[in-house]
Structure 1
Amino acid sequence: MTRVLVVEDEPQLVRALEINLRARRYEVDTAPDGATALRLAAEDSPDIVLLDLGLPDIDGIEVIRRLRGRSRVPIIVVSARRTTEEKVEALEAGADDYLTKPFGMDELVARIRAAARRAERASPAGDSGLIATGDFTVDLLAKRVRRQGNEVRLTPTEWHLLEVLVRRRGRLVGQKELLQEVGGVSLSARTNGLRVCMARLRRKLEGDPARPRHFITFPGMGYRFDL
Protein backbone atom coordinates (compact mmCIF):
# COMPACT_ATOMS: atom_id res chain seq x y z
CA MET A 1 0.00 0.00 0.00
CA THR A 2 1.30 3.44 -0.97
CA ARG A 3 2.23 5.64 2.00
CA VAL A 4 1.61 9.37 1.58
CA LEU A 5 3.10 12.00 3.89
CA VAL A 6 0.86 15.10 3.98
CA VAL A 7 2.75 18.22 5.10
CA GLU A 8 0.10 20.86 5.76
CA ASP A 9 -0.79 23.21 8.63
CA GLU A 10 -4.47 23.77 7.78
CA PRO A 11 -6.39 21.23 9.96
CA GLN A 12 -9.50 21.19 7.77
CA LEU A 13 -7.52 20.46 4.62
CA VAL A 14 -5.47 17.81 6.42
CA ARG A 15 -8.66 16.10 7.55
CA ALA A 16 -10.14 16.21 4.04
CA LEU A 17 -6.98 14.74 2.54
CA GLU A 18 -6.84 11.99 5.16
CA ILE A 19 -10.45 10.96 4.54
CA ASN A 20 -10.20 11.00 0.75
CA LEU A 21 -6.81 9.33 0.46
CA ARG A 22 -7.64 6.58 2.96
CA ALA A 23 -10.90 5.95 1.11
CA ARG A 24 -8.72 5.28 -1.94
CA ARG A 25 -6.60 2.81 0.08
CA TYR A 26 -3.57 5.01 0.71
CA GLU A 27 -1.76 5.01 4.04
CA VAL A 28 -1.53 8.58 5.32
CA ASP A 29 0.86 10.26 7.75
CA THR A 30 0.54 13.98 8.52
CA ALA A 31 2.94 16.70 9.60
CA PRO A 32 1.87 20.24 10.59
CA ASP A 33 5.33 21.75 10.05
CA GLY A 34 8.63 21.24 8.28
CA ALA A 35 10.56 19.81 11.22
CA THR A 36 7.97 17.09 11.78
CA ALA A 37 7.88 16.36 8.07
CA LEU A 38 11.65 15.84 7.90
CA ARG A 39 11.57 13.57 10.95
CA LEU A 40 8.70 11.43 9.62
CA ALA A 41 10.30 11.22 6.18
CA ALA A 42 13.48 9.87 7.77
CA GLU A 43 11.66 7.43 10.07
CA ASP A 44 8.87 6.09 7.84
CA SER A 45 10.19 6.41 4.26
CA PRO A 46 6.97 7.59 2.57
CA ASP A 47 6.30 6.75 -1.07
CA ILE A 48 4.92 10.24 -1.87
CA VAL A 49 5.17 13.62 -0.11
CA LEU A 50 2.39 16.21 -0.48
CA LEU A 51 3.91 19.49 0.63
CA ASP A 52 2.47 22.93 1.32
CA LEU A 53 5.05 25.71 0.97
CA GLY A 54 3.65 28.04 3.64
CA LEU A 55 4.68 26.15 6.76
CA PRO A 56 4.92 27.79 10.21
CA ASP A 57 8.57 26.92 10.92
CA ILE A 58 10.57 26.12 7.78
CA ASP A 59 9.74 27.44 4.33
CA GLY A 60 8.58 24.66 2.03
CA ILE A 61 11.38 25.33 -0.46
CA GLU A 62 13.94 24.55 2.23
CA VAL A 63 12.03 21.39 3.16
CA ILE A 64 12.22 20.29 -0.49
CA ARG A 65 15.98 20.87 -0.56
CA ARG A 66 16.54 18.91 2.65
CA LEU A 67 14.36 16.02 1.50
CA ARG A 68 16.02 15.92 -1.90
CA GLY A 69 19.44 15.93 -0.29
CA ARG A 70 18.82 12.47 1.15
CA SER A 71 15.94 10.92 -0.79
CA ARG A 72 14.46 10.44 -4.26
CA VAL A 73 10.91 10.35 -2.85
CA PRO A 74 8.44 12.07 -5.22
CA ILE A 75 7.42 15.49 -3.88
CA ILE A 76 4.16 17.06 -5.04
CA VAL A 77 3.78 20.67 -3.97
CA VAL A 78 0.22 21.67 -3.05
CA SER A 79 0.29 25.42 -2.53
CA ALA A 80 -1.66 28.66 -2.85
CA ARG A 81 1.45 30.29 -4.38
CA ARG A 82 0.58 30.80 -8.02
CA THR A 83 3.31 32.76 -9.81
CA THR A 84 5.52 31.10 -12.38
CA GLU A 85 8.61 32.21 -10.46
CA GLU A 86 7.42 30.45 -7.30
CA LYS A 87 6.59 27.29 -9.22
CA VAL A 88 9.97 27.28 -10.95
CA GLU A 89 11.77 27.81 -7.63
CA ALA A 90 10.03 24.78 -6.12
CA LEU A 91 10.71 22.60 -9.16
CA GLU A 92 14.35 23.63 -9.32
CA ALA A 93 14.71 22.87 -5.61
CA GLY A 94 13.69 19.29 -6.39
CA ALA A 95 9.89 19.06 -6.43
CA ASP A 96 8.43 16.66 -8.99
CA ASP A 97 5.05 18.31 -9.51
CA TYR A 98 3.12 21.44 -8.50
CA LEU A 99 -0.61 21.69 -7.85
CA THR A 100 -2.21 25.05 -7.06
CA LYS A 101 -4.90 25.41 -4.39
CA PRO A 102 -7.83 25.02 -4.61
CA PHE A 103 -7.70 21.69 -6.42
CA GLY A 104 -9.95 18.74 -7.18
CA MET A 105 -9.34 15.48 -5.32
CA ASP A 106 -9.52 13.45 -8.54
CA GLU A 107 -6.73 15.54 -10.07
CA LEU A 108 -4.60 15.19 -6.95
CA VAL A 109 -5.02 11.41 -6.90
CA ALA A 110 -4.17 11.24 -10.61
CA ARG A 111 -0.97 13.15 -9.96
CA ILE A 112 -0.09 10.90 -7.03
CA ARG A 113 -0.54 7.83 -9.23
CA ALA A 114 1.53 9.36 -12.03
CA ALA A 115 4.33 10.29 -9.62
CA ALA A 116 4.33 6.76 -8.18
CA ARG A 117 4.57 5.25 -11.67
CA ARG A 118 7.45 7.54 -12.62
CA ALA A 119 9.27 6.71 -9.40
CA GLU A 120 8.90 3.00 -10.08
CA ARG A 121 10.19 3.33 -13.62
CA ALA A 122 13.00 5.64 -12.55
CA SER A 123 14.58 3.32 -10.00
CA PRO A 124 18.36 3.71 -10.17
CA ALA A 125 20.12 1.81 -12.92
CA GLY A 126 22.36 -1.05 -12.02
CA ASP A 127 26.13 -1.05 -12.32
CA SER A 128 25.80 -1.28 -16.11
CA GLY A 129 24.33 2.25 -16.27
CA LEU A 130 22.04 1.05 -19.06
CA ILE A 131 18.66 2.75 -19.46
CA ALA A 132 16.28 1.27 -22.01
CA THR A 133 13.10 2.81 -23.40
CA GLY A 134 10.76 1.42 -26.03
CA ASP A 135 12.52 3.54 -28.66
CA PHE A 136 16.20 3.75 -27.72
CA THR A 137 18.88 2.70 -25.21
CA VAL A 138 21.27 4.96 -23.30
CA ASP A 139 24.56 3.61 -21.94
CA LEU A 140 25.73 6.18 -19.39
CA LEU A 141 29.09 4.50 -18.78
CA ALA A 142 30.02 4.10 -22.43
CA LYS A 143 28.35 7.42 -23.36
CA ARG A 144 26.51 5.82 -26.26
CA VAL A 145 22.95 5.86 -27.54
CA ARG A 146 21.46 3.18 -29.79
CA ARG A 147 18.16 3.21 -31.63
CA GLN A 148 16.80 0.22 -33.54
CA GLY A 149 20.20 -1.43 -33.24
CA ASN A 150 22.12 1.52 -34.68
CA GLU A 151 24.32 3.95 -32.82
CA VAL A 152 22.98 7.51 -32.74
CA ARG A 153 25.51 10.29 -33.12
CA LEU A 154 24.97 13.16 -30.69
CA THR A 155 26.85 16.41 -30.34
CA PRO A 156 28.58 16.97 -26.97
CA THR A 157 25.84 19.41 -25.96
CA GLU A 158 23.08 16.99 -26.96
CA TRP A 159 24.73 14.19 -24.99
CA HIS A 160 25.18 16.37 -21.90
CA LEU A 161 21.54 17.46 -22.01
CA LEU A 162 20.41 13.86 -22.45
CA GLU A 163 22.63 12.66 -19.60
CA VAL A 164 21.33 15.30 -17.16
CA LEU A 165 17.70 14.43 -17.94
CA VAL A 166 18.27 10.67 -17.83
CA ARG A 167 20.04 10.83 -14.48
CA ARG A 168 17.09 12.82 -13.12
CA ARG A 169 14.49 10.71 -14.92
CA GLY A 170 10.99 11.04 -13.63
CA ARG A 171 11.76 14.52 -12.26
CA LEU A 172 11.00 17.87 -13.83
CA VAL A 173 14.32 19.67 -14.37
CA GLY A 174 14.05 23.46 -14.55
CA GLN A 175 15.42 25.46 -17.46
CA LYS A 176 17.82 27.36 -15.21
CA GLU A 177 19.23 24.13 -13.78
CA LEU A 178 19.65 22.65 -17.26
CA LEU A 179 21.47 25.73 -18.51
CA GLN A 180 23.76 25.67 -15.47
CA GLU A 181 24.46 21.95 -15.87
CA VAL A 182 24.90 21.89 -19.61
CA GLY A 183 26.39 25.35 -20.17
CA GLY A 184 28.08 26.04 -23.44
CA VAL A 185 27.69 28.96 -25.79
CA SER A 186 25.26 27.02 -27.96
CA LEU A 187 22.71 27.05 -25.14
CA SER A 188 23.44 30.06 -22.99
CA ALA A 189 23.99 32.60 -25.78
CA ARG A 190 20.41 32.25 -27.10
CA THR A 191 17.18 32.16 -25.18
CA ASN A 192 15.80 29.48 -27.48
CA GLY A 193 18.97 27.39 -27.53
CA LEU A 194 17.65 24.88 -25.01
CA ARG A 195 14.44 24.42 -26.99
CA VAL A 196 16.37 23.94 -30.24
CA CYS A 197 18.67 21.35 -28.67
CA MET A 198 15.70 19.48 -27.21
CA ALA A 199 14.01 19.48 -30.63
CA ARG A 200 17.12 17.87 -32.14
CA LEU A 201 17.15 15.18 -29.44
CA ARG A 202 13.50 14.40 -30.14
CA ARG A 203 14.13 14.11 -33.88
CA LYS A 204 17.00 11.71 -33.27
CA LEU A 205 15.45 9.58 -30.53
CA GLU A 206 11.67 9.82 -30.32
CA GLY A 207 9.49 7.47 -32.34
CA ASP A 208 7.17 10.41 -33.06
CA PRO A 209 8.95 13.71 -32.36
CA ALA A 210 5.67 15.64 -32.71
CA ARG A 211 4.16 13.56 -29.89
CA PRO A 212 7.11 12.86 -27.59
CA ARG A 213 6.85 10.06 -25.04
CA HIS A 214 10.21 10.51 -23.36
CA PHE A 215 11.18 14.21 -23.49
CA ILE A 216 8.25 16.04 -21.92
CA THR A 217 8.03 19.84 -22.01
CA PHE A 218 6.57 21.96 -19.21
CA PRO A 219 6.22 25.39 -20.89
CA GLY A 220 8.11 28.12 -19.09
CA MET A 221 9.45 25.66 -16.51
CA GLY A 222 11.61 22.89 -17.93
CA TYR A 223 11.68 19.29 -19.12
CA ARG A 224 11.23 15.76 -17.77
CA PHE A 225 12.59 12.48 -19.12
CA ASP A 226 10.26 9.47 -18.85
CA LEU A 227 11.08 5.89 -19.72
Structure 2
Amino acid sequence: MVDSSRKRLVIGNWKMHGDTAFNTELLTALRTGIGSAPQCEVAVCVPFPYLYQTRSLLEGSGVTWGGQDVSQHEKGAYTGEVAAAMLADFGCRWALVGHSERRSYHGESDTVVAAKAAAALAAGITPVVCVGETLQEQEAGHTHAVIDRQLAPVLALGADSVAKLVIAYEPVWAIGTGRTATPEQAQEVHALIRQRLREAGAPQVRVLYGGSVKAANAASLFAMPDIDGALVGGAALMASEFLSIAAA
Protein backbone atom coordinates (compact mmCIF):
# COMPACT_ATOMS: atom_id res chain seq x y z
CA MET A 1 0.00 0.00 0.00
CA VAL A 2 1.26 3.49 -0.90
CA ASP A 3 2.14 5.64 2.13
CA SER A 4 0.06 8.81 1.78
CA SER A 5 2.13 10.61 4.43
CA ARG A 6 4.94 11.03 1.89
CA LYS A 7 3.76 13.72 -0.52
CA ARG A 8 4.44 12.82 -4.13
CA LEU A 9 7.21 14.71 -5.92
CA VAL A 10 7.91 15.01 -9.65
CA ILE A 11 11.11 16.77 -10.74
CA GLY A 12 12.04 17.54 -14.33
CA ASN A 13 15.75 17.42 -15.20
CA TRP A 14 16.32 19.41 -18.38
CA LYS A 15 19.95 18.30 -18.65
CA MET A 16 21.80 20.45 -21.25
CA HIS A 17 18.73 21.62 -23.16
CA GLY A 18 16.91 24.90 -23.56
CA ASP A 19 17.23 28.48 -24.76
CA THR A 20 15.41 31.61 -23.67
CA ALA A 21 12.59 31.30 -26.20
CA PHE A 22 12.03 27.57 -25.62
CA ASN A 23 12.20 28.03 -21.86
CA THR A 24 9.61 30.79 -21.87
CA GLU A 25 7.16 28.62 -23.77
CA LEU A 26 7.75 25.53 -21.63
CA LEU A 27 7.75 27.27 -18.25
CA THR A 28 4.66 29.31 -19.09
CA ALA A 29 2.82 26.13 -20.12
CA LEU A 30 3.88 24.38 -16.90
CA ARG A 31 2.82 27.31 -14.74
CA THR A 32 -0.58 27.46 -16.42
CA GLY A 33 -1.11 23.71 -16.56
CA ILE A 34 -0.11 22.88 -13.00
CA GLY A 35 -2.18 25.61 -11.34
CA SER A 36 -1.40 27.19 -7.99
CA ALA A 37 -2.14 24.14 -5.84
CA PRO A 38 -0.97 20.92 -7.55
CA GLN A 39 -1.82 17.57 -5.98
CA CYS A 40 1.87 16.68 -5.82
CA GLU A 41 5.03 18.76 -5.56
CA VAL A 42 6.40 19.71 -8.96
CA ALA A 43 9.85 21.11 -9.74
CA VAL A 44 12.27 21.66 -12.60
CA CYS A 45 16.07 21.53 -12.47
CA VAL A 46 17.43 23.74 -15.23
CA PRO A 47 20.88 24.67 -16.59
CA PHE A 48 22.61 27.29 -14.43
CA PRO A 49 22.42 30.16 -17.00
CA TYR A 50 18.61 29.95 -16.97
CA LEU A 51 18.01 30.08 -13.21
CA TYR A 52 17.17 33.81 -13.29
CA GLN A 53 14.71 33.31 -16.14
CA THR A 54 13.18 30.30 -14.41
CA ARG A 55 12.70 32.18 -11.15
CA SER A 56 11.15 35.11 -13.01
CA LEU A 57 8.63 32.90 -14.78
CA LEU A 58 7.79 30.51 -11.92
CA GLU A 59 7.89 32.72 -8.84
CA GLY A 60 4.55 32.49 -7.02
CA SER A 61 3.46 29.46 -9.03
CA GLY A 62 2.89 25.84 -8.06
CA VAL A 63 6.25 24.84 -9.56
CA THR A 64 9.58 25.18 -7.73
CA TRP A 65 13.05 25.03 -9.27
CA GLY A 66 16.61 23.92 -8.66
CA GLY A 67 20.09 23.32 -10.05
CA GLN A 68 21.39 20.23 -11.79
CA ASP A 69 24.53 20.10 -9.66
CA VAL A 70 26.23 21.97 -6.82
CA SER A 71 29.81 22.37 -5.64
CA GLN A 72 31.01 20.63 -2.52
CA HIS A 73 32.93 23.83 -1.73
CA GLU A 74 31.41 26.84 0.00
CA LYS A 75 33.44 29.40 -1.99
CA GLY A 76 36.93 29.99 -3.35
CA ALA A 77 39.19 29.43 -6.34
CA TYR A 78 37.11 26.77 -8.05
CA THR A 79 36.65 28.02 -11.59
CA GLY A 80 33.47 26.77 -13.20
CA GLU A 81 31.92 25.58 -9.93
CA VAL A 82 28.60 26.84 -8.60
CA ALA A 83 28.19 27.16 -4.83
CA ALA A 84 25.06 26.20 -2.93
CA ALA A 85 24.73 29.78 -1.68
CA MET A 86 24.59 30.93 -5.32
CA LEU A 87 21.73 28.53 -6.01
CA ALA A 88 19.96 29.78 -2.90
CA ASP A 89 20.42 33.34 -4.18
CA PHE A 90 18.24 32.40 -7.16
CA GLY A 91 15.55 30.88 -4.97
CA CYS A 92 16.47 27.27 -5.71
CA ARG A 93 14.79 24.73 -3.50
CA TRP A 94 16.53 21.69 -5.00
CA ALA A 95 19.92 20.53 -6.24
CA LEU A 96 20.62 17.27 -8.02
CA VAL A 97 23.74 15.53 -6.72
CA GLY A 98 25.39 12.38 -7.98
CA HIS A 99 23.47 12.09 -11.22
CA SER A 100 24.80 9.14 -13.20
CA GLU A 101 26.11 11.47 -15.89
CA ARG A 102 28.13 13.39 -13.28
CA ARG A 103 29.45 10.14 -11.81
CA SER A 104 30.33 8.71 -15.21
CA TYR A 105 31.55 11.73 -17.22
CA HIS A 106 33.10 13.70 -14.36
CA GLY A 107 34.34 10.91 -12.14
CA GLU A 108 32.37 11.96 -9.07
CA SER A 109 32.94 9.52 -6.21
CA ASP A 110 30.39 8.48 -3.62
CA THR A 111 32.29 10.60 -1.08
CA VAL A 112 32.13 13.70 -3.27
CA VAL A 113 28.40 13.16 -3.80
CA ALA A 114 27.86 13.05 -0.03
CA ALA A 115 29.93 16.23 0.38
CA LYS A 116 27.78 17.97 -2.24
CA ALA A 117 24.64 16.88 -0.42
CA ALA A 118 26.04 18.32 2.82
CA ALA A 119 26.90 21.61 1.09
CA ALA A 120 23.36 21.91 -0.27
CA LEU A 121 21.83 21.21 3.13
CA ALA A 122 24.04 23.86 4.74
CA ALA A 123 22.54 26.42 2.34
CA GLY A 124 18.96 25.35 3.02
CA ILE A 125 18.60 23.49 -0.28
CA THR A 126 17.22 19.96 -0.56
CA PRO A 127 19.69 17.64 -2.28
CA VAL A 128 18.22 15.03 -4.59
CA VAL A 129 20.79 12.26 -4.26
CA CYS A 130 20.90 10.03 -7.32
CA VAL A 131 21.93 6.38 -7.12
CA GLY A 132 21.79 3.56 -9.63
CA GLU A 133 23.61 0.72 -11.32
CA THR A 134 24.94 0.24 -14.85
CA LEU A 135 23.73 -2.49 -17.20
CA GLN A 136 26.92 -4.47 -16.55
CA GLU A 137 26.40 -4.23 -12.78
CA GLN A 138 22.77 -5.22 -13.09
CA GLU A 139 23.49 -8.23 -15.29
CA ALA A 140 26.19 -9.35 -12.84
CA GLY A 141 23.66 -9.27 -10.00
CA HIS A 142 25.42 -6.42 -8.20
CA THR A 143 22.52 -3.96 -8.01
CA HIS A 144 22.05 -4.12 -4.24
CA ALA A 145 25.80 -3.91 -3.56
CA VAL A 146 26.13 -0.83 -5.79
CA ILE A 147 23.18 0.92 -4.16
CA ASP A 148 24.52 0.18 -0.69
CA ARG A 149 27.96 1.49 -1.65
CA GLN A 150 26.56 4.70 -3.11
CA LEU A 151 24.25 5.32 -0.15
CA ALA A 152 26.79 4.61 2.60
CA PRO A 153 28.58 8.01 2.75
CA VAL A 154 25.28 9.85 2.39
CA LEU A 155 23.65 7.93 5.24
CA ALA A 156 26.79 8.58 7.30
CA LEU A 157 25.82 12.28 7.36
CA GLY A 158 23.49 11.34 10.23
CA ALA A 159 19.76 10.96 10.73
CA ASP A 160 19.05 14.70 11.01
CA SER A 161 20.68 15.38 7.64
CA VAL A 162 19.36 12.28 5.92
CA ALA A 163 15.81 13.20 6.93
CA LYS A 164 16.09 16.34 4.77
CA LEU A 165 17.17 14.52 1.60
CA VAL A 166 15.36 13.12 -1.40
CA ILE A 167 16.78 9.95 -2.98
CA ALA A 168 16.36 9.21 -6.68
CA TYR A 169 16.93 5.69 -8.01
CA GLU A 170 18.00 5.96 -11.62
CA PRO A 171 19.11 2.66 -13.17
CA VAL A 172 21.78 3.81 -15.62
CA TRP A 173 20.72 1.15 -18.11
CA ALA A 174 17.27 2.77 -18.34
CA ILE A 175 18.31 6.40 -18.89
CA GLY A 176 17.94 7.70 -22.42
CA THR A 177 17.85 4.15 -23.76
CA GLY A 178 14.10 3.74 -24.02
CA ARG A 179 14.38 0.79 -21.64
CA THR A 180 12.50 1.04 -18.37
CA ALA A 181 12.59 -1.11 -15.29
CA THR A 182 9.26 -2.80 -14.73
CA PRO A 183 7.33 -1.37 -11.78
CA GLU A 184 8.20 -4.54 -9.87
CA GLN A 185 11.93 -4.21 -10.65
CA ALA A 186 11.92 -0.59 -9.58
CA GLN A 187 9.96 -1.39 -6.41
CA GLU A 188 12.49 -4.05 -5.40
CA VAL A 189 15.31 -1.48 -5.37
CA HIS A 190 13.13 1.20 -3.80
CA ALA A 191 12.29 -1.23 -1.02
CA LEU A 192 16.02 -1.77 -0.39
CA ILE A 193 16.57 1.99 -0.25
CA ARG A 194 13.60 2.38 2.09
CA GLN A 195 15.07 -0.29 4.38
CA ARG A 196 18.42 1.53 4.48
CA LEU A 197 16.63 4.79 5.25
CA ARG A 198 14.67 3.09 8.01
CA GLU A 199 17.92 1.76 9.49
CA ALA A 200 19.34 5.30 9.30
CA GLY A 201 16.36 6.67 11.24
CA ALA A 202 14.77 8.46 8.28
CA PRO A 203 12.02 6.20 6.88
CA GLN A 204 9.91 9.08 5.55
CA VAL A 205 12.50 10.31 3.04
CA ARG A 206 10.96 10.33 -0.42
CA VAL A 207 12.44 7.99 -3.01
CA LEU A 208 11.89 8.88 -6.67
CA TYR A 209 12.26 6.68 -9.73
CA GLY A 210 14.33 8.12 -12.57
CA GLY A 211 14.62 5.75 -15.51
CA SER A 212 12.82 6.88 -18.68
CA VAL A 213 9.60 7.88 -16.94
CA LYS A 214 6.81 8.76 -19.37
CA ALA A 215 3.10 9.52 -19.15
CA ALA A 216 2.44 5.98 -20.38
CA ASN A 217 4.23 4.24 -17.49
CA ALA A 218 3.97 6.82 -14.68
CA ALA A 219 0.77 5.54 -13.08
CA SER A 220 1.99 1.93 -12.86
CA LEU A 221 5.28 3.06 -11.31
CA PHE A 222 3.55 5.36 -8.82
CA ALA A 223 1.28 2.50 -7.74
CA MET A 224 4.26 0.78 -6.12
CA PRO A 225 4.40 1.28 -2.33
CA ASP A 226 7.94 2.71 -2.12
CA ILE A 227 7.96 4.88 -5.26
CA ASP A 228 7.13 8.43 -4.18
CA GLY A 229 7.44 10.21 -7.52
CA ALA A 230 9.81 10.64 -10.42
CA LEU A 231 12.95 12.34 -11.65
CA VAL A 232 12.01 12.93 -15.28
CA GLY A 233 14.48 13.45 -18.12
CA GLY A 234 13.44 13.82 -21.76
CA ALA A 235 9.72 13.94 -21.01
CA ALA A 236 10.28 17.04 -18.87
CA LEU A 237 11.01 19.02 -22.05
CA MET A 238 7.44 18.49 -23.29
CA ALA A 239 4.87 20.36 -21.23
CA SER A 240 1.91 18.06 -21.95
CA GLU A 241 3.95 14.92 -21.19
CA PHE A 242 5.41 16.32 -17.98
CA LEU A 243 2.02 17.55 -16.80
CA SER A 244 0.52 14.13 -17.49
CA ILE A 245 3.23 12.50 -15.37
CA ALA A 246 2.50 14.93 -12.54
CA ALA A 247 -1.23 14.24 -12.87
CA ALA A 248 -0.58 10.50 -12.53
TM-score, normalised via structure 2 length: 0.31
TM-score normalised over the length of structure 1 = 0.33
Q: Which has the higher strand share?
A: 1
- Rg (Cα) greater in structure: 1
